[in-house]
Amino acid sequence: MTKVVLVDKNDNQIGLEDKVKAHLGQGILHRAFTILVFNNKGEVLIQKRAKNKMLWPLVWETTCSSHPLENETYERAGERRLKDELGFTCPLKLVDKFVYHSIYKDIGSENEFCVLLKGEYNGGVEVDPSEITEWKWISLSDLRKDIEESPDNYVPWLKISLSLISA
């Protein structure tokens, strides 16, 4: 059973909870991170979530998102999950932090203290099909245009993350 780190709005740990339980109903505020990895052409790698995901299945999101383990830095957690989900890792730097709450249908919600991490990578990608159904490199301008035209195709935290990085 995977646990997430429960926090207050200042990212102070206040407990641990089962990952699924923390996402049910209104959710319980917990630590999370999301990553934007760019290539040397300035394109960002995005992924479409697997159909078995409880929240936002088959919806486009950032390069990778997950939860740090207890006593794990956000950067280390991000590097670990990149390797697990996409078959590569790269150095990550903290860009910003935000708290958000988004409800998904009548299933559950994200209620997260989220850290935005950024990296650069130019090699191959080998996705874990239990996490990702599709992936692509896309320019920020094309991504922003598509989000404007089809907002429901993208997760809330991707939209927030794009607002926190420079074009």
CA angle (60, 74, 141) in 5-degree steps: 35
Q: Which two tokens stand for residue 30?
A: 């917990």
Q: For the purposes of burial, counting CB atoms within 10 Å of the CB of 8, is it exposed (0-12), middle (13-18) or buried (19 or more)?
A: exposed
Residue 43 appears among annotated catalytic residues: no
Helices (H), 57-125: 74-86
DSSP 28: -
What is the torsion angle, in degrees rounded to the nearest 10, for the CA atoms of residue 107, residue 112, residue 118 and residue 124? -30
Among 43, 112, 131, 148, the active-site one is 112
What is the torsion angle, in degrees rounded to the nearest 10, for the CA atoms of residue 145, residue 151, residue 157 and residue 160? 50
Active site members: 112
